[in-house]
Chains A and B, each alone.
Chain A
Amino acid sequence: MTHLDGNVLAGPLSELFSVDMTVAVGRCIGCGDESVLANAMVYESGPDIVVRCHHCDDVLMTLVQSPADLRVEFRGIAMLTVARSAESR
């Protein structure tokens, strides 16, 4: 199986964040690229997910999913920007 994209992060990240994070803009520590997480390259191996910058391929985050917990490393994200919805302004 080849790689997917950040759209598939919607489900796993919904356990961590109250808003949809695929539309959050992440800034890559490695190259400075700023893109929505939906555009990141995603590599899945069973319950393990590696998220890479679509521009420079550096690892942005990793997720390890088990029945007991969800472990996330924000390895390569310098900043995440989440636009406010009308209700949260």
Chain B
Amino acid sequence: MTTTAPPALPLPARSVWKVGTVASVRTETPTGRSILIDVPGWGGNLAGQHLDLRLSAPDGYQAVRSYSIASAATGDRIELAVDRLPDGEVSPYLVDDLMVGDEIEIRGPLGGWFVWRTEQTEPVQLIAGGSGIVPLVAMARAHAASGSTARFRLLYSVRSPGDVFFASELASLASPNFEVTWVYTRETPPDWPTPAGRLSPAVLEASTIGASEMPAVFVCGPTGFVESVADWLVALGHPASSVKTERFGGK
């Protein structure tokens, strides 16, 4: 015998699908773009949170994907950045087809784990692979806007200089309290002191805050990148509980 469940009670605000309108788009890389969206009723989000985005086809087919939010502000305007996956179902539409004025369905803000709060005082090590920079940019922005004196370092691994998301913003955020280390895996800028190559445990150790300083560590990017880096961090002495990870899928 099966039982039909009675209708559920009304959902909390973050669980309800809201309609957002695209306010502007900007090309970031050959395969990626950042998107500003106005979402009435959004109310703001913490640095590192994400949203769910839902696309519906005329035949009723729906696809839902989670996207990290690049902004960490109050108010109803949010920023996303999306990289087009070669066999993606949603990302090609968001990168190539979505236009200013288009409407999309959004749920959130979501997530309380991969979050940096301005009250945190310990040093913070951010580690990004490719588009994994998105939630970490939100943390860097929140850090700067709040006047936090916590020491921040970012290690950003990309294929080439052209694949950097938010390049000018990261340059403007650099300060004595926010140091950025670049790792280029396929092509470096001209006159770069080191040849292109994947991130290694040795480079990781040399360019990140040491375990003895007990930093909060946030690692985000493709699943393989995140898992390798997280394993190396633990091998370097960081407690597993200090290393927070967010996997974007892909390789």
Contact = CB atoms under 8 A, between A and B. Distances in A.
B111 A22 contact: yes
Given A15-B11, A18-B12, A69-B5, A2 B250 contact: yes
Contacts of B250: 1-2
Contacts, number: 71
B116 interface: no
A80 interface: no
Interface in A1-52: 1-8, 10-11, 14-15, 18, 20, 22-23, 36, 38-39, 47
Most buried by B among A2, A4, A5, A10: A10
A59 B166 CA distance: 38
A7 B107 CA distance: 14
Contact of B52 (A6, A11, A22, A69): A11
Contact of A8 (B5, B8, B12, B66): B66
A6 B108 CA distance: 16
Contacts of A4: 66, 223, 247-249
> What size tier do the contact residues of chain A reach?
20 to 34
Nearest to A65: B64
Contact of A7 (B11, B12, B114, B251): B114
* Interface majority SS (helix, strand, loop, mixed), chain B: mixed
Interface in B188-233: 223-224
> What size tier do the contact residues of chain B reach?
20 to 34
A15 B15 contact: yes
B111 to A, nearest CB: 5
Contacts of B246: 5, 7
Given A20-B111, A22-B113, A10 B50 contact: yes
Given A22-B113, A23-B112, A38-B114, A11 B249 contact: no
* Interface majority SS (helix, strand, loop, mixed), chain A: mixed
A65 to B, nearest CB: 8
A42 to B, nearest CB: 8
B14 interface: yes
A39 B107 contact: no
Contact of B11 (A3, A14, A69): A14
Interface string B3-15: 0010010011011
B99 interface: no
B160 interface: no
A39 B219 CA distance: 12
Given A3-B223, A5-B246, A14-B15, A20 B114 contact: no
Contacts of B108: 11
The 7 A-B residue pairs with the shortest CB-CB distance in the complex, in nearest-first order: A38-B113, A10-B110, A14-B15, A11-B52, A20-B112, A10-B111, A5-B247
21 contacts: A2-B250, A2-B251, A3-B223, A3-B247, A4-B223, A5-B247, A7-B111, A7-B114, A8-B66, A10-B66, A10-B110, A10-B111, A14-B12, A14-B15, A14-B107, A15-B8, A15-B11, A22-B111, A22-B112, A23-B113, A38-B113
